[in-house]
Structure 1
Amino acid sequence: MEFVTFLIDFVLHVDKYLEAFVQTYGLWVYGLLFLVIFVETGVVVMPFLPGDSLLFVVGAMCGVGLMSYPLSVGLLLAAAILGNQSNYAIGRRIGPRVFQWDNSRFFNKNAFDQAHAFYERYGGITIVAARFMPFLRTFAPFVAGVAQMTRTRFALYDLLGGTLWVGGIITVGYFFGNFPWVKLHLDKIIWAMILVPGLVILWGAWRSRSRGAGTNS
């Protein structure tokens, strides 16, 4: 319970934690950030780690000179791409056996099924779109591996999606993250980053189900 409380506080106040880490450990912060992004995108049981908010805060810190913009973008882009490649490789290795897993503390089968349905409907572009959707971005490369998507095609979408996600959000944070209004309402912005993509997914699933029901009737 204490870990869950700490995790929620870390996600909502990642700016304070990251700034303290930078001031205390200096360049080691880049290693920590690489690890967080790699694990969040590369380990299918770790979808709860901060991604969008972390990148935004990194951009804001680059904007005030606490961190290097080119180093942050390059390093975290590498982490995002390698994480997806790892997740994809795990999916290819495990294959159809995953469909026999049950809900557990570390695996949400409903979330996996939603990612699978989304992937089946929209194909490879899911790899790009899922980058901007918490939870879904952790499962999408795994599902691509399970579905035996060709490695070359996956790598292309992985590179495109990773570049847009890492480069885009860090750049937005760089230019806008230090506005007084943004800093004052950062916790609300982080909640929006988490909830809005989820609502979009639910709305899309509802629309798809409604159309399916209409067709069947």
Structure 2
Amino acid sequence: MNNFDWTQLINPEFYITLSIGGFQIGLFIVLFIVFAETGLFAGFFLPGDSLLFLAGIYSRDLIQNVVSIPSDFINVFLLSTLVAIMGVLGNMTGYWFGAKSGYYLFKKEDSFWFKKKYLLQSKDFFEKYGGKAIIYARFLPIFRTFAPIIAGIVSMDKKKFMFFNVLSSFLWSFILIFSGHYLYGVFLKQGIDLKHHIEYIIIIIVLISTFPVLVKLLKKRPSEKV
């Protein structure tokens, strides 16, 4: 923390390895970011997919700083479960927020924390895919922040929402965290330490996760000109 650089705020590794007074708080930061990104409309700019992938790489450190568990698998499983639960709670918060103040959001002016275009894009995305949008959106930056809010605005059936909410959250957390953990082991056996290539991992994951969004926007442009 002595050599803090503002650019670290966009680096997921900074949050994972963060400590205060020698106590590692990375796990709590990861859980908070997951909740904020999926439950607070202002959390759309926070790292999501790359954060979970890196959390998988650092899973042992994250869990061991809170509770000592000898089993490597249980460490990863516990981390994935905690993240999934926060994702579920985040979406529930977003749904409630959308149900209570959705009309106000569509009239709200743009600010640093809020962009109406993201809300409108998410609404179109939700109307096209229905309940499945909750699952699709979980793996897409920006959309995963606004999808539960849109679900609340359109009064999606609560039982249906919770089904897709729980399913998508557990899929998202388990796939990314387990991938990060076990791919790290595979590469390490080949003499490659992924911890030394974090910046490339982040770039690759950001490109993969944002590619569907870019394709959607590019396809939409011609129709808007007509």
In structure 2, the residue corresponding to 1:46 is in which secondary structure? helix
> TM-score, structure 1 length as denominator?
0.84
| Cα contact 1:56–1:177 (8 A) shared by 2 | no
Give 1:195 deviation, angstroms: 3.4
| Equivalent residue letter for 1:187 | E
Cα deviation 1:106-151 (Å, max 9, x = unaligned): 1011111111111111111111011111111101111111111111
Distance 1:142 1:41 in 2: 9
Query: Percent identity at matched positions?
Result: 29
Cα deviation 1:13-42 (Å, max 9, x = unaligned): x3355235399324x443332212111111
Q: 2:16 aligns with which of 18, 23, 34?
A: 18
Distance 1:20 1:94 in 2: 35
In structure 2, the residue corresponding to 1:82 is in which secondary structure? helix
| Equivalent residue letter for 1:52 | D
- Structure 1 window deviating more from structure 2 (63-72 vs 180-189): it is 63-72
Segments of 5+ residues of structure 1 without an aligned counterpart are: none
Match of 1:196 in 2: 208
Q: 2:105 aligns with which of 73, 91, 98?
A: 98
| Equivalent residue letter for 1:203 | V
Count of aligned positions: 207
Match of 2:55 in 1: 58
> TM-score, structure 2 length as denominator?
0.81
| Equivalent residue letter for 2:133 | T
Segments of 5+ residues of structure 2 without an aligned counterpart are: 65-74
Match of 1:112 in 2: 119
Structure 1 residue 205 and structure 2 residue 203: aligned?
no
| Cα contact 1:48–1:135 (8 A) shared by 2 | yes
Distance 2:163 2:62 in 1: 33
Structure 1 residue 140 and structure 2 residue 147: aligned?
yes
